[in-house]
């Protein structure tokens, strides 16, 4: 199979089916060039992805870390103030994660039918209203309900913001743009827990939700005045709302899409195993002080941002799929080392180094898997594909979160979950996307 970006367009085969051509474009994504898309006057120009637009999209897609990491230090205060149990407060996090999954699953296909700007603005506005509701709630039951609604609104902004890029850029250009997006967005999980830990003793848990509401106001402004409409009326999917579920099922009829979903969602399960278990492993088992743990968490988050920026250069030199698979190989390798270390008795520095390498590899995973997965179903709908991938991502996170708590050895549970997820991710990705290439 030729690696020349122009080879597929210069000598088209009249007998090639659309699905066959699409499979090739997914396996060798560099064949699809943004300039060929620009030749069509109905496609938005790539210069829409300015630094201001990418920064705005990163803010809009940072609903997850803003809605989770910032208020985590206030769990004990919430339980005391609302006279409830720690497990009930934990449900506020679970409700938000469920909302993120539901919001992405439905808002993505809907935006394929009505355009991107309107769902972005509505989702941002609702995010603000539900954040204010969280700040004002008098009971844990209402807080859980508002967190669910807040998650749905946040999921809307996440998936629609992510759908703007494939509207504007294809192939390597899309992978590079997603890398820039992930690099900027990666600052949020680094800053959010530090900001929450600093502010919570001063303004309390209700004040944290007001801070989130202020961010939501900024989201409303940028969705209205900065982010362009990237999906013109003549490129929208008629009946997208009515055909929502059939559209999603069509996406899962593409083996390549399923393969990249494995890489994106189950691979994210590897990363979320670390997120869920790291306080118990690093603080309880290995004795890391709370402030050092927060700094370590921030450094690892910045590593994702840095690797995402580097990934933007790597995809211009290597096959996007190859870079993705290399990231998954790093996942498997670090998981094996962590498992051996846990069996021998966990040690601080080997654990920290492995977790740093693993989180860095996430920068090679998320942007590339998203670009390739959406490319595989571009003709069905970028929003539908992006929404399905996002929903599976948080479903995987919801599954691994309780699993890492099983057993009396957190380091062993974490390593096992990471290894299982990483093996499933790489096997699913390599097997299904390779079979699609050969089809």
Asked if residue 259 and residue 398 are part of one domain, the reply reads: yes
* Residue where a domain stops, chosen among 191, 225, 259: 225
Q: In the predicted model, is pLDDT for residue 369 greater than 60?
A: yes
Asked if residue 356 and residue 284 are part of one domain, the reply reads: yes
Confidence of residue 239 (pLDDT cuts 50, 70, 90): low
230 within 8 A of 116, measured Cβ to Cβ:
yes
Rg of the Cα atoms in the chain: 21
What confidence score (pLDDT) does residue 22 get? 41
Poorest-confidence range of 16-25, 76-85, 235-244, 348-357? 16-25
Tell me if 376 is assigned to some domain: yes
What confidence score (pLDDT) does residue 48 get? 65
Q: State how many domains the chain has.
A: 2
Domain carrying residue 191: 45-225
Tell me if 12 is assigned to some domain: no
Bin 43: left if φ > 0, else alpha if -120 < ψ < 50, else beta.
beta
Asked if residue 367 and residue 295 are part of one domain, the reply reads: yes
Element (H, E) at 312: helix 290-314
341 within 8 A of 354, measured Cβ to Cβ:
yes
191 within 8 A of 160, measured Cβ to Cβ:
no
Q: Please, what's the largest Cα pairwise distance for the chain?
A: 70
Tell me if 286 is assigned to some domain: yes
164 vs 343, higher pLDDT: 343
How confident is the model over 46-92, as pLDDT tens digits?
Answer: 446 777 888 888 888 887 777 877 887 787 788 889 998 877 887 88
Q: Is 201 exposed, middle or buried (0-12, 13-18, 19+ CB in 10 A)?
A: exposed
What confidence score (pLDDT) does residue 148 get? 93
What confidence score (pLDDT) does residue 138 get? 93
301 within 8 A of 189, measured Cβ to Cβ:
yes
Distance between CA atoms of residues 66 and 96, nearest Å: 11
How confident is the model over 210-221, as pLDDT tens digits?
Answer: 999 999 999 999
Confidence of residue 6 (pLDDT cuts 50, 70, 90): very low
């Amino acid at each position: 199979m030729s690696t020349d970006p122009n080879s597929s367009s210069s000598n088209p085969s009249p007998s090639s089916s659309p699905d066959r051509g699409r499979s090739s474009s997914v396996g060798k994504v560099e064949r699809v060039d943004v300039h060929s898309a620009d030749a069509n006057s109905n496609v938005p120009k790539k210069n829409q992805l300015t630094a201001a637009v990418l920064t705005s999209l990163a803010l809009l897609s940072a609903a997850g870390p803003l809605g989770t990491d910032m208020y985590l230090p206030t769990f004990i205060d919430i339980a005391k103030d609302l006279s409830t149990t720690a497990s009930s407060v934990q449900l506020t996090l679970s409700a938000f994660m469920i909302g993120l999954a539901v919001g992405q699953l439905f808002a993505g296909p809907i935006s394929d039918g009505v355009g991107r700007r309107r769902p972005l603005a509505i989702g941002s506005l609702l995010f603000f209203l539900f954040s204010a509701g969280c700040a004002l709630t008098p009971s844990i039951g209402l807080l859980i309900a508002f967190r669910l609604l807040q998650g749905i609104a946040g999921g809307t902004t996440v998936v629609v913001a992510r759908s703007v890029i494939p509207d504007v850029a294809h192939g390597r250009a899309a992978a590079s743009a997603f890398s820039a997006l992930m690099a900027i967005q990666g600052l949020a999980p680094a800053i959010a827990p530090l900001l929450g830990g600093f502010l919570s003793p001063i303004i309390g848990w209700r004040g944290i939700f007001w801070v989130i509401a202020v961010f939501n106001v900024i989201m409303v402004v940028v969705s209205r005045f900065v982010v362009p409409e990237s999906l013109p009326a003549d490129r929208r999917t008629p009946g997208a709302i009515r055909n929502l579920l059939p559209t999603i099922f069509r996406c899962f009829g593409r083996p390549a899409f399923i393969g990249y979903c494995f890489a994106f969602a189950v691979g994210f399960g590897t990363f979320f195993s670390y997120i869920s278990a790291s306080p118990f492993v690093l603080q309880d088992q290995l004795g890391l002080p709370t402030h050092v743990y927060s700094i370590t968490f921030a450094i690892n988050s910045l590593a994702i941002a840095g690797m995402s920026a580097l990934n933007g250069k790597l995809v211009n030199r290597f096959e996007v799929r190859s870079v993705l698979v290399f990231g998954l190989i790093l996942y498997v390798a670090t998981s094996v080392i962590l498992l051996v270390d846990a069996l021998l008795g966990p040690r601080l520095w080997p654990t920290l180094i492995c977790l740093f390498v693993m989180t860095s590899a996430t920068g090679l995973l998320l942007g590339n898997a998203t670009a390739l997965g959406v490319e595989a179903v571009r003709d069905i709908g970028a929003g539908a594909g992006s929404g399905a991938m996002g929903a599976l991502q948080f479903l995987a996170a919801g599954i691994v979160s309780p699993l890492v708590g099983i057993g009396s050895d957190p380091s062993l549970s974490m390593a096992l979950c990471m290894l299982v997820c990483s093996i499933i991710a790489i096997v699913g990705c390599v097997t299904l996307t390779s079979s699609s290439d050969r089809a």
